[in-house]
A and B are shown apart, each in its own frame.
Chain A
Amino acid sequence: MKKNYFSTRWGIIGTGCLIGVFAALLQKMGNPANMGICVACFERDIAGAIGIHRASVVQYMRPEIVGFVIGSLIAACIFKEFRSRTGSSPIVRFVLGVFAMIGALIFLGCPWRALLRLAGGDGNAVVGLSGLVFGIWVATLFLKKGYNLGRAQETHSAAGWIMPLIMLGFLVLMFIFPQIQGQGKSVILFYSIKGPGAMHAPLIISLIIGIVIGIIAQQSRFCTMGAFRDLILFKQMHLLSGIIALAVSAFIVNLILDQFHPGFANQPVAHNLYLWNFSGMALSGLAFALAGGCPGRQLFLTGEGDGDAAVFVLGMIAGAAFSHNFGLASSPKGIGHYGAAAVIIGIIVCLAIGFTMRKK
């Protein structure tokens, strides 16, 4: 039987280092500060690019996200791991995706960005990461009590191709309707002309980096939520070593590139409301753990044919639309008008899912 070197301790550390270095370099090449790669922010930008929210500062078809799915698909095909499957409570996963995104946009970042914010010197990331761990810890209590979304079933091979094809479709749209300098819309696609959505590395570089990360992360099973969950649930350090490698390598590259600016106030694309940084990430952590993967891992799973992960991703994109259309999402000025209410509702919904969906 072939040994998978990517899934060894050094494999996962290597994956973390690669993501950390690429994320810091992407910032240098144009991506927003402390946001070299943020899965939640970038899916939110994609929601903006297709116009399902109209926050003009966060609209861009992020090629990194497309690359993650395509890279994972390539790896899954090469290593014969592509397996179409679905049917493990897709509607619940959609709802978890929605609230995971709402929570992430209260904090302003997914777990990947929380680590990158930390590596860039943003002290608020510590608060966010604490919230994340708290949310995951709550989910482990449900897991211990038998929480389970049920078994997935094998399905038609073509079904597993749907998410990769959606992503390829997004990429094709970007080639057909490229950004026009100084214009907020290119026929059907929206492009920010200011704000974080206007900051991006060259398309081809973003896409290639996305594909490389997709290939390696699919094989190494890199997961930022799983890192804390496995530590709490099984006292296992395996995945945790990957995310430590991510933070450390991004920190070192940030130091070299003069991208490290320690402090709490006036950090890029961040606010310093401790309560909401904590509770937004707690909601996200709870939702990610109940759904079985961080937003990056969910993308990699879609590349290997997991239809349930695909529904979670679509839930996150829909969640971004809710966040901006309903005035929930935070900005550097603070949380959205209805952000607090959304976090409370999200926590109630996730707790209800945890309490009611268990097998004895």
Chain B
Amino acid sequence: MSIIVDAGGLSCPQPVLMTLNKIKEIKKGKIIIKVDSNTSKENVSRAAQSQGWDIDIQEQETGYQLTIKKE
């Protein structure tokens, strides 16, 4: 089962904080992050990439789903 971080409705820095906490917890693997604004999408992408995680972004009706991976 995928690990899902639901940051919908939360403003910065919460989505980044939640993502980085999860990254710290699992160290590698796959995390799905749900955000609802472009700002959060950009912030989470920047943070995940700075930690060396690959990122894939899908646009959804209510925002974006970011899938980040690290082998």
Q: How many A residues touch B, CB cutoff 8 Å?
A: 27
What's the minimum C-beta distance from A337 to chain B, rounded to whole angstroms?
A: 37
Judge whether A83 and B37 touch: CB under 8 Å: yes
Count how many chain B residues have C-beta atoms less than 8 Å from C-beta atoms of the other chain.
Answer: 22
If the complex has contacts A1-B59, A4-B42, A83-B37, are A234 and B12 also in contact, measured as CB distance less than 8 A?
Answer: no
B19 to chain A, nearest CB (A): 10
Q: A236–B50 contact, CB under 8 A?
A: yes
A190-247 interface (Cβ within 8 A of B) = 221, 226, 229-230, 233-234, 236, 238
* B10 to A, closest residue via Cβ: A151
Tell whether B16 is near chain A: CB-to-CB under 8 Å.
yes
Is there contact, CB below 8 Å, between B39 and A143? no
Contact partners of A234 in chain B: CB under 8 A = 13, 16, 20, 47
28 contacts between A and B (CB under 8 A): A1-B57, A1-B59, A4-B38, A7-B42, A83-B37, A88-B9, A88-B11, A143-B17, A148-B10, A148-B14, A151-B8, A151-B9, A151-B10, A152-B10, A152-B11, A153-B9, A154-B62, A221-B42, A221-B43, A233-B17, A234-B13, A234-B20, A234-B47, A292-B11, A292-B12, A293-B12, A306-B11, A308-B11
State whether the Cβ of B46 lies closer than 8 Å to any Cβ in chain A. Answer: yes
Q: Which residue of B lies closest to A144 (CB)?
A: B17
Collect the chain B residues with CB atoms within 8 Å of residue A153's CB. 9
CA distance A154 to B37 in the complex (A): 11
**A229 and B13 within 8 A (CB):** yes
B contact residues around A152 at 8 Å (CB): 9-11
Write the chain A residue with the least CB distance to B14: A148
Residue interface mask B17-52, A partner, CB < 8 A = 1: 100100000000000000011110011001100100
How far apart are the CA atoms of A266 and B69 in the complex, in Å? 56
Q: Determine the distance from Cα of A79 to Cα of B62 in the docked complex, in whole angstroms.
A: 16
Interface residues of A (CB under 8 A from B): 1, 4, 7, 79, 81, 83, 85, 88, 143-144, 148, 151-154, 221, 226, 229-230, 233-234, 236, 238, 292-293, 306, 308
Check A238/B46 contact, CB under 8 A, given A88-B11, A148-B14, A292-B11.
yes
Interface Cβ pair total, 8 Å cutoff? 50
Contact A230 B13 (CB under 8 A): yes
Closest to B57 in A: A1
Q: B12–A226 contact, CB under 8 A?
A: yes
- Residue contact B46 to A236, C-beta cutoff 8 Å: yes
CA distance A7 to B39 in the complex (A): 9
Instruction: Known contacts A151-B8, A236-B46, A238-B46; decide if A143 and B13 are in contact (CB<8 Å).
Output: yes
Which of B10, B13, B36, B50 is within 8 Å of A233, CB to CB?
B13
